[in-house]
Chain A
Amino acid sequence: MAARREHDAIIVGAGHNGLVAACYLARAGLDVLVLERNAYVGGAAVSRRLYGEFTYSNCSYVCSLLRPEIMRALELPKFGLQIIPYEGGCTMMRDGGHLALYDNHDALRREISRYSKRDAEAYERYSRDVIRQCKFIRPLLLREPPDPTSCKPRDIGEMLFLARRFHGLGEARMYDTLRFWTMSAADFLDEYFESEIVKAHLAGSSIIGTALGPRSPGTAYVLLHHYMGDIDDTAGAWGFARGGMGAVSDALAASLLASGGSIRADAQVARILVRGGRTRGVALANGEQITARLVLSNMDVRRTFLESMDPADLPEDFLRQVRHFKIRGSSGKLNIALDGLPDFPAIPRGSPCLRGDLHVTDTIEMMERAYDDWKDGRWSRAPYIDMLIPSQIDPTMAPHGKHYMSVFVQYCPYELAQGPWNDARRKAFGDTVIETIARHSPDFERLILHAEIRTPRDIENEVGLTEGNIFQGELTMDQLLFNRPIPGYAQYRTPVRGVYLCGASAHPGGGVMGAPGANAAHAVLRDLGRSAAA
């Protein structure tokens, strides 16, 4: 065994949450080492050059949820992160019409009025109500969820904090909140809008990354995600990272190195080592052992406990619950290099909405049917896609005159009913998506120079996310707040002393938010009796 110096903390995985956790620990003076199995850092927040001079944000693709508190605390702008805000979006309809969503309030009202005057009025109410829910939830993101079964003063204090916040809403809003958390997006939108196209456009954000359809109860609150970025007072909390999503990870890595932490790439952790109920470090796939008092796993809960630890080191009951943790692949991704800007006849030329999210799903029913396909083990024949062309705003993403298009696809199963994924099936999946887009853009197919097609299995293989689930676990009520990832273990700590979870499997979950990493670091520091450095 090589005699090496012992680190204070090893972080397994250089995804954005791992890096955030590492940054906070390094800033508090700990000796931190981040181990990454890939040759590059970032996990699912990466920029990659897979074709010519094109840069792909080949997993996550927009920056909307990254907590401004974290951006500030870790000085990410100083380390090169630049967020370029983008405006609005658009849903193209099968009949050639379109609905554009603009940032400009009056323009947006006029646009919705084209379909329904009532809906334009209702949109005011809708925004107000959703933003109210956002404001209610936002402070919970950067807090450790209490254990409702515990009698510890800290847990009781946190429960009271929650109760007081809830109570502070006032009676009528409390009922609204109860309903909001338990309703389906479709039912929720039905309460406000009559126009199918308005509902379809808004419902999109409720299903991204989930194994649920817009009619599944519990999807309404996911509508928040669209607003979470909007309401932060920090300018540009909703936009593209200049240079692709890898810029987020690069800035985090630079921030980490500047505070004395270190990162090793091409270092795959095979085992988290445990002796006497406490961790003593990790063993790499090449047999090397690295000792540390603390190990923070940025891997999802299944990969951490079922694949990287010895079952004998964990309680049987805990393992059973880990096996039941739901983490389902439901999304695919296409990254496309284009020879020019495709023409979308439905969208007026020069409209700013072309620079935002583009959709082609014009009814909730279409979205729900896309989900039905997934339930039956096939990719959606008419998928919901969230399509962006960031090179219009960020010229670093593609050579002059050419464009990079990111296409997020919902739904695509991890396992196909027809048989295992292979190249032919991956291509067929890609073709389905390309045809879907081509229906709205006559020159699109002709412009394609290169397309990277990523199924949930590809995302799993490359990024290490089980089933390619972008949230490291379904965001359903049974896996949220004090239930995430497992009741009794929602506070980043695990049954093994010194082992913590810092990835999106932990509260508050996925999205390039950084909150689980920050919260885990604070839990570690609290256990060490230290507080985070300013």
Chain B
Amino acid sequence: MSGGSPGSGYDCVVIGAGHNGLSCAAYLARAGRSVLVVEAGEGIGGAAGTREFAPGFRVSGCAHLLHSMPEELRRDLALEAHGLSAAAVSMPTTALLDDAAPLAIDPAGGGIEASAHAAYDASMRRLAAALVPALLRTPPRLGTANWSDRMELLRFALRLRRLGRRDMRELLRIGAMNVFDLLHEHFESQALRGALAFDAVLGSNLGPRSPGTVFTLLYRLAGQIAAGGSGLTQPRGGMGAVCDALAAAAKAAGAVVRTSAPVVRITVDGDRATGVELEGGERIGARAVVSSADPQTTLLRLLGAGHLDAGFVRRVVRLRTRGLAAKLHLALDRLPDFSGLDPQRLKGRLLIAPSLRYVEHAYDHAKYGECSAAPIMEITVPTVNDSTLAPPGRHVLSAIVQYAPYALNGGWDAGRTGFTELTIDTLVRHAPQLRRAIVAAELLAPPDIEREFRITGGHWHHADLALDQFYFTRPVPGASQYRAPLPGLFLCGAGCPPGGGVIGAAGRNAARQITRGGH
């Protein structure tokens, strides 16, 4: 039973008001639990927040496009009614090339290799569709005598079978393959291959030749399918608006959200988590402590290895959590002048990933603790779709930049300026007048992301999304069902299945585990 002080305790205390923490809180509150969300920052959102990086200029701090938040979650929590709206949906993708005009990447658009692209897209979507239900379910444990685990595995096997022989074989073949080979099988165009490989390596510690990259692509596609037909979406007000809507939904269901309330420790009595202790010593009792912080923060720093067995701790320590994605924010006094780009395409995202070779070379540097000499980038100009993000007539450029390793040789203090300049130079190659338009610039490298958003290693996904850290083994064996191996403690962040990408499913699934467990 509750170890917290009676009367003052909550059913559940959720650590962190990022999208997963808030979605978990909203589901818990809707299931009738008394819920308190404690957030260390002054505002909510965490890495899924909107930040003012220069006076009057606002931007999504990390991910800048929403594409994988399940329709079911948005509907359950009535996020639209709670203020979420899209500034743009089905945003197009354009590849910026070095010595050719920008290339529209659209499977239905009749561009280069149109029929091959359409066939590839249709096939990948069919395969990804088989993975969709996995996003919204708790992974079963393997090897138990538990019938619900066995049923879950059987259900998964049946879903594979329902793909039909041809597609099932294809999924089993390409599931662990690299995207380099897959794209060679389908396409001739260097530019198309490069652009399509981008989503496979975005946010990962992998290059196109790394086996497993087809899987990361399928994972992303599955998310898009689960999200309904809206494709790449820019939330009005930036990513923070998603968290505002989630917070509103949670509060409407009775949850309480406290900001500037950093947790210093998860309190334990005997063999169970009993609540949290805040900076300043305040203790809050709860029957269930749910952490949306990354697994290392939760288990090693807030809980402490002393409460866990040595083998489990070793797994948590070894979790690969070092980020390789940086974020560049530019405040501009005019629209950037991308050469040869149809202004309509600026409403979508622009990619710098002109060939597989380019992407692979960008990755090679990161293997040795260097930043890419020629980085890959996903660029948006969110102010084109949403003028509220900058003063009138001004613009914001938001770019995800890879690869920028957490443990940069020589350190980020020495390397930040150089890499920022290199990144801007890379942009200038496509937008010659860009430098003159820059009012302010900010580069968030993984250590900045670690500090700002309290994510160990500054990894957007809390832990590498790779086959060996996925589903049954995410974050680590023994904690893949959202339960830490300490009664009363649960995990609900991106480090849990299904993983990162502003999905919210980890929060939702964790809430279901908690309510099912009678907490």
A191 CB–B CB distance under 8 Å: yes
- How many interface residues does chain B have, given as a range? 35 or more
Minimum CB distance partner of B469 in chain A: A179
Asked if A218 and B211 make an inter-chain contact with CB atoms under 8 angstroms apart, the answer reads yes
Taking a contact as CB atoms under 8 Å apart, the answer to whether A216 and B210 are in contact is: yes
Chain B residues positioned under 8 Å from A182 (CB to CB): 176, 212, 466-468
Q: What's the least CB distance linking A246 to chain B, in Å?
A: 35
| Chain B stretch 141-170: residues in CB contact (< 8 A) with chain A | 141-144, 160-161, 165, 168-170
**Which positions 156-175 of chain A face chain B at CB distance < 8 Å?**
167, 169-172, 174-175
Inter-subunit contact B170/A487 (CB<8 Å): yes
Whether the Cβ atoms of B211 and A488 lie closer than 8 Å is no
B364 contacts A187, CB within 8 Å?
no
Contact: A478 with B318, CB < 8 Å?
no
A179 in contact with B211 (CB, 8 Å): no
Chain B residues within 8 Å of A178, by CB: 142, 468, 472-473
**A174-B142, A175-B473, A483-B173 in contact; A187/B211 too (CB < 8 A)?**
no
B211-A149 in contact (CB<8A) = no
* A477 with B468: CB separation less than 8 A: no
Interface positions of B from 99 to 138, Cβ below 8 Å from A: none
The A490-531 residues at the B interface (CB cut-off 8 A) are none
C-alpha spacing A229/B512, complex, angstroms = 48
Q: List B contacts of A307 (CB < 8 A).
A: none
Assess whether A476 is in contact with B143, with CB atoms less than 8 Å apart.
no
A495 shortest CB reach to chain B, Å? 15
Cα(A187)–Cα(B141), bound, Å:
24
Interfacial chain B residues near A368, Cβ < 8 Å: 367-368
The answer to whether B468 and A167 touch across the interface, beta carbons within 8 angstroms, is no
The contact of A175 among B142, B210, B364, by CB within 8 Å, is B142
- Cα A148 to Cα B158 in complex, Å, equals 11
Do the beta carbons of B468 and A179 come within 8 Å of each other?
yes
- Chain A 175-219 interface mask (CB, 8 Å, partner B; 1/0): 110110011000100110000000000000000000010011110
C-alpha gap A375/B168 in the complex (Å): 31
Q: Kindly state the separation between the CA atoms of A171 and B141 in the bound complex, as whole angstroms.
A: 8
Q: Which of A167, A169, A369, A482 contacts B172 (CB 8 A)?
A: A482
In the complex, chain B residues whose CB is within 8 Å of the CB of A215: 210, 367
A326–B478 CA distance with the chains assembled, in angstroms: 37
The residues of A that contact B141 with a CB separation of less than 8 Å are 171
When C-beta atoms are compared, the residue in chain B nearest to A211 turns out to be B209
Q: In the complex the two chains form, is A477's CB within 8 Å of B176's CB?
A: yes
Q: Which of B170, B174, B318, B477 contacts A190 (CB 8 A)?
A: B318
CB neighbours (8 Å) of B294 from chain A are none
Interface centre among A169, A179, A326 (most CB of B within 10 A): A179
Beyond A215-B367, A218-B176, whether A174 also contacts B143 by CB under 8 A is yes
B33 in the interface (beta carbon within 8 A): no
Chain B residues, Cβ within 8 Å of A172: 477-478
* Least CB distance, A466 to chain B, in whole angstroms: 16
Inside 8 A of B206's CB, which chain A residues have their CB?
A: 217
Question: A8 on the interface (CB 8 Å rule)?
Answer: no
Is B185 among interface residues, defined by CB-CB distance under 8 A? yes
A87 within 8 A of B: no
Asked if B143 contacts A171 (CB within 8 A), the reply is yes
CB pair B466 A217 closer than 8 Å: yes
User: CB distance A487 to B318 under 8 Å?
Assistant: no
Complex Cα spacing A59 to B210, Å = 28
Find chain A residues with CB under 8 A from B185 CB: 324
B181 near A: Cβ within 8 Å?
A: yes
Bound CA–CA A223/B94 (angstroms): 42
A171-B142, A476-B176 known; A375+B466 contact, CB < 8 A? no
B177: Cβ under 8 A from any A Cβ? yes
Pick from A170, A175, A326: contact of B472, CB under 8 Å: A175
Would A148 and B367 count as touching, CB distance under 8 A? no
User: Contact flags (1/0) for B309-346 with A, using CB distance below 8 Å?
Assistant: 00000100010100000000000000000000000000
Q: How large is the interface on A (under 10, 10 to 19, 20 to 34, 35 or more residues)?
A: 35 or more
Judge whether A217 and B142 touch: CB under 8 Å. Answer: no
Within 8 A of A (CB), among B169-193: 169-170, 172-178, 181, 185
Given A172-B477, A182-B468, verify A149-B210 contact (CB < 8 Å). no
B244 within 8 A of A: no
Q: Tell me the B387-428 residues at the A interface (CB within 8 Å).
A: none
Cross-chain contact A478 with B173 (CB below 8 angstroms): yes
A-contact bits for B455-476, CB 8 A (1 contact / 0 none): 0000000000011100011000
Chain B min CB distance to A144 (Å): 17
With A148-B172, A178-B468 known as contacts, the answer to whether A375 contacts B209 (CB < 8 A) is: yes
| Nearest chain B CB to A334 CB, angstrom units | 27
CA A72 – CA B114 in complex, angstroms? 57
Contact status B168-A183, CB under 8 Å: no
> Within the assembled complex, what's the spacing in Å between the Cα atoms of A476 and B206?
16
For B212, what are the chain A residues with a Cβ–Cβ distance below 8 Å?
182, 217-218
Contact partner of B468 (CB less than 8 A), chosen from A148, A183, A369, is: A183
Q: Which of B202-221 contact A (CB under 8 A)?
A: 206, 209-212
B143, A478: Cβ atoms closer than 8 Å: no
Q: Once the chains bind, are B173 and A326 in contact (CB under 8 Å)? A: no
Interface assignment of B360: CB less than 8 Å from any CB of chain A: yes
Shortest beta-carbon distance, A328 to chain B, in Å? 10
- Within A276-328, which residues are at the interface with B (CB < 8 Å)? 324, 326
Contact check, A191 vs B318: say whether CB atoms are below 8 A apart.
yes
Minimum distance in angstroms from B131 CB to a CB of chain A: 16
For the complex, what is the distance from the CA of A470 to the CA of B359, rounded to whole Å?
A: 29
B211 touches A148 (CB 8 A): no
Which chain B residues border A458 with CB–CB below 8 Å? none
Cα of A326 to Cα of B472 in the assembled complex, Å? 29
A478 touches which of B142, B165, B176 (Cβ 8 Å): B176
Which A residue's beta carbon lies closest to that of B211? A218
Q: List residues of chain A with CB within 8 A of the CB of B473.
A: 175, 178-179
Residue in B181, B320, B466 whose beta carbon sits within 8 Å of that of A326 in the complex: B181
Q: Tell me the smallest distance from the CB of A174 to a CB of chain B, in Å.
A: 4
| B368 pairs with A365, CB closer than 8 A | yes
Q: Which residues of A contact B472 (CB under 8 A)?
A: 175, 178
Residues of B with C-beta under 8 A to A170: 143
Q: Chain A contacts of B178 at CB under 8 A?
A: 476
Shortest Cβ gap from B366 to chain A (Å): 10
Name the B residues within 8 Å of A176 (CB-CB).
Answer: 477
Contact A167 B211 (CB under 8 A): no
Please determine whether A169 and B367 come into contact, CB atoms closer than 8 angstroms: no
Is the CB–CB distance between A375 and B176 below 8 Å? no
Q: Complex Cα distance A365/B368, Å?
A: 7
Cα(A326)–Cα(B209), bound, Å:
13
Chain B residue contacts of A478, Cβ below 8 A: 173-177, 181, 211
Shortest C-beta distance, A431 to chain B (Å), equals 25
Chain A positions 346-378 with a Cβ under 8 Å from a chain B Cβ: 365, 368-369, 372, 375
Q: How far is the CB of B477 from chain A (nearest CB, A)?
A: 4
Chain A residue nearest in CB terms to B163: A149
Q: How far is the CB of B134 from chain A (nearest CB, A)?
A: 15
Closest residue on chain B to residue A368 by CB atoms: B367
Q: Kindly state the separation between the CA atoms of A216 and B175 in the bound complex, as whole angstroms.
A: 15
Contacts of B320 in A (CB 8 A): 187
Q: In the A-B complex, list the 4 residue pairs whose CB atoms are closest, starting with the nearest.
A: A477-B176, A175-B477, A182-B467, A487-B169
Interface residues of B (CB under 8 A from A): 141-144, 160-161, 165, 168-170, 172-178, 181, 185, 206, 209-212, 314, 318, 320, 360, 364, 367-368, 466-468, 472-473, 477-478
Q: Can you list 18 A-B contacts with CB-CB less than 8 angstroms, sorted by A residue number?
A: A148-B168, A167-B142, A167-B143, A174-B142, A175-B477, A178-B142, A179-B468, A183-B468, A216-B211, A217-B211, A217-B468, A372-B364, A375-B360, A375-B364, A477-B175, A478-B176, A487-B170, A488-B169
| Sample of 8 further A-B pairs with CB below 8 A, known A216-B210, A365-B368, A478-B174 | A148-B168, A171-B143, A171-B144, A182-B466, A218-B211, A478-B177, A478-B211, A483-B172
